[in-house]
Amino acid sequence: MSMSTQTDLVDAEPLGELERLNELKRFRSHGRGFWQEVAETDWNDWRWQLKHRITTGEQLRQLVPVLTPEEHAGAFLNENRLAMAITPYFFTLIDPADPNCPIRRQVIPRIEETHVSAGEMLDPCAEELHSPVPGLVHRYPDRVMLFATDRCASYCRYCTRARLVSHGPQHDFHPQLEQQLDYIQRTKTVRDVLISGGDPLLFSDEKLADLLGRIRSIRHVELIRIGTRVPIFLPQRITNQLCTGLRQYHPLFISIHSNHPSELTIEARHALWQLADAGIPLGNQSVLLRGVNDDPVVLKAHMQKLLMCRVKPYYLYQCDLVSGTGHFRVSVRKGLELMKSLRGYTSGYAVPTYVIDAPGGGGKIPISPEYMLNYTNDSIVLRNYEGKLFEYPEPADNTVLCQAACPHGEYLHW
Ligand code: SF4
């Protein structure tokens, strides 16, 4: 066996990539942008931010003089299925001079949203089919998802729940809180409740406390989770008072939703640290989006930057088959390549699980590059992140385990 030097073992990252990676990981504040005249106290007030969202094509045209034809047509589309709303804070993250700005792609409507590709659906994950009462999804044995509201701080153009959120002209969704809580109360198998929407952190502190308190009082509920994009769209909402309130309901986990390292600003990091300081474990769910994060350096920078915000990258979702989102979708082949660019090349904590939420309601299915090449009763052949092959002997109790696991008493080979 030849002696390896340190440089044999670890391929040095090309300098250009490393510089790009570090540039993407820099924490910045974009200040107040077009809103310089606004008082600091107003700017830092989450209700001011909500009240002054950009919601019309005309406002957008004034702020982004060079809208592309696709954006212009999308922003002025009257019967747009998903409303537009962008908080002033999040708007400052947009580069108005760059039509390919990854932040811009996520929140500015485009005419492509009216193009429905083959296989796309209004409810691709069949949430309605798995809703025993309106606004509550019970797809997995021991957990439910409760839609608390149909409002978000800003609206993501690829949203899986575009059919429900934003209270657009064709929407008629009204959460039925009493029915939802009653279902959880009488369904003893539910030990985990995810509060989602829409964004539950848009509730006032009092309303949120009431909801959390009612769920926490159900004896068989062990874990409460909140799904939110507020720390990214509206970090001003994460106040000391909110955090003091949230810590009353532990064990409480929060899943945030961030897709690009530029979303992790100084303000967002401060908000996330406040939540972490309140003892709340934080995870992130990203959606793999064309022109946003389908680049190995961007993805790695994002995952590493999340860890610096004390957030564990949790899931990377293949974009759901939502009507009008074909322009966002990246092939699964490319998604697997991107995952390969992470595993082994950065901390395991920085590697999310790549999943497809199966069309038709099959739930989240993890997919990963082929690391296990062959599996027999005697051994497993593995490939590491560098493409080198290794064999691991199968422990002797394999036969018994296989027979016990298989209803027909047969061995499992693949
Ligand atoms: S924050 Fe979540 S629910 Fe709201 S629009 Fe974005 S993806 Fe949809």
pLDDT in tens, 31-74: 999 999 999 999 999 999 999 999 999 999 999 989 999 999 99
Choose one of 114, 137, 152: the last residue of a domain. 114
Q: Are residues 163 and 286 in the same domain?
A: yes
Res 13: pLDDT: 60
Range of 106's domain?
A: 29-114
CA of 198, closest atom in ligand 1 = 3
Residue 123 in any domain: the answer is no
Residues 251 and 397 in one domain: no
Residues 264 and 190 in one domain: yes
Quick check: is 22 in a domain? no
The separation between the first and the last C-alpha atoms of the chain, rounded to the nearest angstrom, is: 32
| Active-site residue, 205 included | no
- Regarding whether 272 and 361 lie in a shared domain, the answer is yes
- Same domain, residue pair 361 and 383: no
pLDDT at 197: 83
CATH number of domain containing 269: 3.20.20.70
Q: How many angstroms separate the CA atoms of 59 and 279, rounded?
A: 40
The answer to the question of residue 396 being in a domain is yes
Residues in the chain with pLDDT values less than 70: 1-15, 79-80, 168-171, 397-414
The reply to whether 148 and 232 lie within a common domain is yes
d(CA 168, CA 160): 15
Q: Same structural domain for residues 209 and 315?
A: yes
3-state SS assignment for residue 169: coil
Local structure of 102: helix, strand or coil: helix
Query: 291 lies in a domain?
Result: yes
pLDDT in tens, 181-198: 999 999 999 999 999 989
How many domains is the chain partitioned into structurally? 3
**Is 13 domain-assigned?**
no
- Which residue has the least CA distance to atom 1 on ligand 1? 229
- Tell me which of 91, 114, 137 is where a domain ends: 114
The two beta strands, 252-257 and 379-383, are unpaired
Atom number of ligand 1 nearest to Cα 161: 8
User: CA angle, corner 118, sides to 116 and 120, nearest 5?
Assistant: 60
Q: What is the pLDDT of residue 170?
A: 60
Task: Spell out a b/e string for 342-373, using b for 16 or more CB atoms within 10 Å of the CB, else e.
Answer: beebbeeebbbebbbbeeebeeeeeeebeeee
Which residue's entry shows tokens 């001011």? Answer: 48
Question: Are 140 and 38 contained in the same domain?
Answer: no
Residues with CB under 6 A from ligand 1: 152, 155-156, 159, 161, 165, 197-199, 229, 257
